[in-house]
Every structure is written in structure tokens, then in C-alpha cells.
Amino acid sequence: MDWDWNYAFEILPLLAQASLVTIQATLLGFLLAAVLGLVFAVLRMSPNRTISLPTTAVVEFIRSTPLLIQIFFFYFVFPEFGVSLDALTAGIIALGLHYGTYCAEVYRAGLDNVPRGQWEASIALNLTTFHTFRDVIIPQAIPPVVPALGNYFVALFKETPLLSAIAVMELMQQAKILGSNTFRYIEPITLVGAFFLVFSLVAAALIRLLERRLKRIGARA
Amino acid sequence: MAPRWIAVCVIVSFAAGLAVASFAGFREFIPGLLQGALVTIEIALAGAVVAVIAAFGAAMARMYGPLPVRWLAVAYVELFRGTSALVQLFWMFFVLPHFGVTLEPMTVAITALGLNVGAYGSEVVRGAVQAVPRGQWEATIALNMTRGEALRRIILPQALVAMIPPWGNLFIELLKSTALVSLITISDLAFRAQQMNQTTFRTVEIFTIVLVIYLAIAAVITTGMRALEQKAAGAVARGRVH
């Protein structure tokens, strides 16, 4: 047991700086996931099989292969087609795409729960498909699934250390570099673990709060 | 479920076709990658065993243990669900040796991933046990069974059926997280892919094959779990008749 508080305080500012990259990757990645997820979910609902079947196939493919490989894929494969991405962008795209497929399932649950009558009413009012989705279905489908989306937000946050595999200077990468410089891994890696634990627990508490509030709003309506 | 399977078949055959058609050096990569896949499968299987044991242990401790044991189980579940799998892996790999515990990379991989998935699994087990109707418990009391007997003979068999589908998802999560072990020097599928990529730069081919191999293993897990689900449901239905 040779935990060194002085060293821990010394590296704290560096880790705090790296955590900004982690947070950036989380926010941008989830933004992408939330948007892509909705696109996947709506495409999957299409009555046209040439649209819905390939979407299902792509979603299943992404969901059942490891995120790490997808990160490598985006990082190494894009340059072959002449598009050179920096590591952080490639990582954010991979995270967003992977979690987009999870979000798609969540949205689908929300969309399925909108009563049929709402669709029929939209047809009766002669709304286009676009307007039906934008003004009638989606506003009713999303609020109930916000807590479930929140869970994936936390899950995505916890996957960001994978970006260290393509040398993004996020929290884990910083901790590894600090560890290899000084041969002291205890403090950096434990601090990273503590950071994730605290954030996840806080985020989980916030989601529970949000869930309760949404339920109350739902009950009032 | 049927369209999902058609879709999976479509993409598998598409990817396989693409793979075969688009490169000549196909034979060059496959043997090495399959060797890596064996390591991946080995870790996934051993990890699954650890996960199931940890999940049942933690769930039982949390529901029926004395208070300190209960806290321990809660702490385990929250700790492993609240931090990243990669951080757990690195912590065991880099930090534990400083405390005088040096483990083989394989042992670290299996324990860390198993405990990680086990933490999620314990919530699945708890949920399934608590979903067994109260009347079943009351009936076991009326029949003068002890709590252990009631759990073993009445409650768990019913809960097991309910927890098969979520366990299927967890096993796929476990399979996917085995890719992380490449970062602690184990030459699994992901590791070999990266190694070959660095020596040959044939990125598209290598990573496409790797993704297809992972997809194939995942398909085997899904099929197996679905068969198990049907069998278990049948067994419980028969049990009710007699």
C-alpha cells in the first residue's frame, strides 16, 4: 500500500485537463447517437422493405460487433478512401454510430407506444408523412423514453476510455502516459476509476430525478 | 424475429462475398485471425462462467445475506457498473502488481470482464427472482419448505426461464468487450487484426474479416440462447402440468 498523496495532487490538474476531452467526446458522441438513432428508428419503420431491411441489417451488424474494432475501422479505413480524420473525430463518429444503434431501439419502443389513432388522425387531416412524424408522432414518442436514453448516455460516457487505443488524449490515455513516465500506475488509474464512478453515480441519480419529474408531468397531462 | 434473421443472413453473405471477391490475399489473413478468434472465444467462455457465478452470488447476497454482506454486494455492483470496463482491466493489470498481486494477463482478462458483466447480471438475477409471484413463496411456506429449499426447487427454476433472454444480451456484451483485452497484450482477434494491419496495411480486408468473425460468434450465441429459452419454457410448462 504505497499510495502517494503528493503525486496524486500533482497529476490532478493534468487529469482534469484530459477529462475535458473525455467530456467533449461524450457530448458530441451522444449528440450524434441521438440523431442517428432517430434516423435508424424511423427508417426501420418504413413500409418499404428495400429501406427497412437494410437498415435493420446495418443496425444489427453494428450492435453485435465490438466498439473497439469499429473505432479502429474508422481511424484506419477512412484514410484509405482519402478522408483523413484526426483521432478524436474518428472516435466520436464510432461512438456515435455504435450508440446510435442502441438509441434506435429506445426510440422504436417510444414510437411503438404512440397509439394507432394518432396515425389515423394524421391521415384524416391529410398531413404528409414528414409532418406526421415531426408534429404529431415524435413529440409524443420521445419524452417517455428520455430516461432510457439517459442510461445510454452514461454507458457511452463509460466507453470513452476506448479512444485511448487510437491515442486520443483523453483521461485514460493521460493516465497511461503519466504511469509510463513515472512507473507509478496506482494513482493515475485509480483516480480515473474514481472519476468515472463519481460521474456515473451522479448521472444515474439525475436520470432517476428526471424520470420522476417526467412521470409527474405525464400524470398531470 | 424472422426479418431480423433474414437481415443478418443478408449482411453476412454480403460481407463474406465482398471479402472473397475483393482480395487475393484472403488466405493470408484467415489462419492467424482464426487463431486469435480461438483466444477470444476462450476468454468469452471463461468470462461467462465467472459472470454467472458472480451474478448469482451477488444477487443472493444482496437479497438474503446478513447486512454487511448485503453492503458488500451493493458496493461490488455499483463499483463495477459505475466504472469503465477498460479502467477495471487496466487497474487489475497495472495497479494490482503494486500491491504485490501479479496476475497473468489471461487471468486479469477473464476476472475483470467476468466481474464486470457479473455486476450487470446480478441485477438481472435479482429482477427475475423478484418477479416470481408472491403466491409461490407463500405456497412454499405452507408446504413447510426452508428458504434454501424454496429457492432451489420452486423460485429459481421459474426465475431462470425469465432471465435467459437478458443473459443472452449480456453474453453478447461480454463477447464484444473481449476486444478490450488486446490492450493488455493478449493476442486475441482484435490484437491480431491490429498486428496484421501494422505489417501489411491491408486495413479494409483485415477489419472486415474481423467484424464478420465477431458477428458470426454473436450469431451463434443468439441462436444458442434462443434454443435454450424454448427448451426451458417447455420444461417449466411440463413441470406445471404434473
Give per-residue pLDDT as tens, A152-175.
999 999 999 999 999 899 999 999
Chain A contact set for B199 (CB, 8 A): none
Chain A contact set for B195 (CB, 8 A): none
> Which among B11, B84, B215 has CB closest to A161?
B84
> Which among A60, A172, A179 has CB closest to B7?
A60
pTM for the predicted model, two decimal places: 0.84
Give the mutation candidate from B40, B87, B115 for the A interface (greatest A CB count, under 10 A): B87
pLDDT at A221: 61
Q: What is the DSSP string of A68-130?
A: HHHHHHHHHHGGGGT----HHHHHHHHHHHHHHHHHHHHHHHHHHTS-HHHHHHHHHTT--HH
Q: Test B84 with A185 for CB contact under 8 angstroms.
A: no
Answer yes or no: are the C-beta atoms of B60 and B126 closer than 8 Å.
Answer: no
What is the spatial distance between Cα A126 and Cα B138, in angstroms, rounded to a whole number? 57
Per-residue pLDDT tens digits of chain B, which is 242 residues long: 455 666 666 666 666 666 665 555 667 788 889 999 999 999 999 999 999 999 999 999 999 999 999 999 999 999 999 999 999 999 999 999 888 888 999 999 999 999 999 999 999 999 999 999 999 999 999 999 998 999 999 999 999 998 999 999 999 999 999 999 999 999 999 999 999 988 888 888 888 889 999 999 999 999 999 999 888 888 777 765 43
Chain A contact set for B86 (CB, 8 A): 161-162, 164, 172
Q: Is the confidence at residue A1, as pLDDT, over 70?
A: no
Long-range CB pairs of B140-145 (<8 Å, 24+ gap) are none
What is the spatial distance between Cα B128 and Cα B151, in angstroms, rounded to a whole number? 12
Task: Name the closest residue on chain A to residue B170, using Cα atoms.
Answer: A64
Q: Is the confidence at residue A213, as pLDDT, over 70?
A: yes
Provide the CB-side half-sphere exposure for B221 (13 A, CA): 25
What is the spatial distance between Cα A117 and Cα A209, in angstroms, rounded to a whole number? 31
Indicate the DSSP class of residue B241: H
Element (H, E) at B182: none
pLDDT at A79: 82
Query: What's the structural domain count of chain A?
Result: 1
Give per-residue pLDDT as tens, A183-206.
888 899 999 999 999 999 998 899
Task: Name the closest residue on chain A to residue B183, using Cα atoms.
Answer: A165
Answer yes or no: are the C-beta atoms of B62 and B70 closer than 8 Å.
Answer: yes
> Which among A164, A185, A200 has CB closest to B94?
A185
pLDDT at B241: 40
Give per-residue pLDDT as tens, A81-97.
888 889 999 999 999 99
Q: Test B194 with A192 for CB contact under 8 angstroms.
A: no
Residues sharing a CB contact under 8 Å with residue A6, sequence separation 6 or more, in sequence order? none
pLDDT at B18: 64
Answer yes or no: are the C-beta atoms of A49 and A141 closer than 8 Å.
Answer: no
pLDDT at B15: 66
Measured between alpha carbons, how far apart are the two ends of chain A, in Å? 57
What is the spatial distance between Cα B95 and Cα A142, in angstroms, rounded to a whole number? 43
Cα dist from B71 to A3, A200, A216, B197, B219, whole Å: 25, 19, 32, 47, 37
- Residue A215 sits in a domain whose CATH number is 1.10.3720.10
| A1's grid cell | 500500500
Q: Which domain holds residue A181?
A: 5-220
What is the spatial distance between Cα A54 and Cα A48, in angstroms, rounded to a whole number? 11
